[in-house]
Homo-oligomer: A and B are copies of this chain.
Amino acid sequence: MNKLEYYLSHPVNINMARGIPSSELLDLSNDMLDVLTSKTNFINHDNIDIRNYGSLDGIKEAKHLFAEILNTNEDNIFIGGNSSLNLMFDLISKSFTHGVCGNTPWSKLDKVKWLCIVPGYDRHFAITEYFGIEMINIPFVNGDPDMDLIEEYIKDESIKGIWSVPQYSNPTGDTYSKKCIERFAKLKPAAKDFRIYWDNAYGIHYLDKYEPIDDLLSLCDKNGNPDMVYMFASTSKITFAGGGIAALAASKNNLEDISNHFKRQTIGHDKLNQLRHALFFKDKEALLKHMDKHAEILKKNFDYIESAFEKEIKDLATWNNPKGGYFICLKVDHKAKEVIELCKKCGLTLTDVGSCFPYHKDPANSYIRIAPTSLNEEKCKVAVEVITTVIKSLK
């Protein structure tokens, strides 16, 4: 019985489909649950009782935290609920029902189109698909999105936005270069209500060292495009995926527009959890110390996978060696579907084929998103052996 036959007859029951934190990573934040107690002073920096209603845009302490995470100014922060995806969804929904900053609601337009840097994050694409937005693929070129193509497409007024994960991108692991970020800031879209959805989900999820990208919001402002970007982040993978806080950063003009919509929807988000986070991360040093611990745990699996791939499938596939984030992007030309299906038969669930592309269509049937963050060392080794065994069997 060869290895493949062995796994087919003894399936492993491992799920690495989603980028979710392991128990070990979650444990790093358990102490956060002890910092806010019945004895806490509930009157915050803004002199409000955080247990009560109010503060639509969040408390100052939480804004300060997200200013660090997003490397931007705290006056530009709006704190949401526990999910940055929810903030993105809400903004697109309001763009359809009410329009962006007084522009025509998208529901009244014949066509709304969107640029999608690919491969990218499936939940982004699911939102634009849900709203019937036509999605257009923008490939990476040497680690950056194809900016020439973006600059060309945005001459079309029906292009209303772009999904981007600028740092340790999901799933390619790429971080946009300084030059690329500058080109983003200089975009001159035909549509006044074009917005860059800048999802910095992994901004401080470095594997080696903290290397923040430039603040696109300030750069847009400097280039006469203050309202062109919404930046997003959350603590879902910093503290608890099931109980973090999320935020967006935007220009004063956008924040005013956003607050005018949100004030019909809610009186305010959970300020107790906002303060809990701010108390746990006293300052930037504490935040980065915490992320160092994340890196130490995450790096083990990433290092192991990269060396195993190097050893076993060097000539059969390509992959990135990311400096941060949650994914390794494995490329097996024209064979992704077969690999994923055969892994499934061996008991290893990978992200569905095509899920990193709009409409689930990977044009070259090549990309496999490897999400090792939820696995312990042992399971990670087994998963990698299944993957490499399957790929070798299909050569």
Contacts and interface: CB of A to CB of B under 8 A. Distances in A.
A143 interface: no
A33 interface: yes
A224 interface: no
Nearest to A242: B271
A375 to B, nearest CB: 13
Interface in A62-118: 81-83, 85-86, 89-90, 93, 96-98, 107
Nearest to A84: B266
A227 interface: no
- Among A26, A54, A86, A264, find the residue whose CB has the most chain B CB atoms closer than 10 A: A264
A89 B81 CA distance: 15
A51 B23 CA distance: 9
A381 B322 CA distance: 66
A243 B265 contact: no
A266 B89 contact: yes
B81 A269 contact: yes
Contacts of A50: 242-243
Given A51-B241, A242-B53, A271-B243, A264 B97 contact: no
A379 B254 CA distance: 39
B82 A52 contact: no
Contacts of A266: 82-83, 85-86, 89
A264 B89 contact: yes
A240 interface: yes
A93 B97 contact: yes
A34 interface: yes
Contacts of A272: 33, 240, 242-243
A20 interface: yes
Contacts of A93: 93, 97
Interface in A14-43: 18, 20-21, 23, 26, 29-34, 36-38, 40, 42
Residue of A23, A36, A107, A130 ringed by the most chain B CB atoms within 10 A: A130
A273 B243 contact: yes
A31 B152 CA distance: 58
Interface string A333-363: 0000000000000000000000000000000
A357 B268 CA distance: 23
A1 to B, nearest CB: 34
A259 B264 CA distance: 22
A34 B33 CA distance: 9
A36 B272 CA distance: 13
A248 B126 CA distance: 25
Interface in A262-283: 264-273
A53 B83 CA distance: 10
Contacts of A240: 51-52, 272
Nearest to A374: B52
Contacts of A30: 38
A37 B38 contact: no
A258 interface: no
A127 interface: yes
A240 B52 CA distance: 6
B37 A34 contact: yes
A156 interface: no
B270 A82 contact: yes
6 contacts: A51-B240, A52-B242, A55-B242, A96-B107, A107-B107, A270-B270
Interface of A: 18, 20-21, 23, 26, 29-34, 36-38, 40, 42, 49-55, 81-83, 85-86, 89-90, 93, 96-98, 107, 123, 126-127, 130-131, 236, 240-243, 264-273
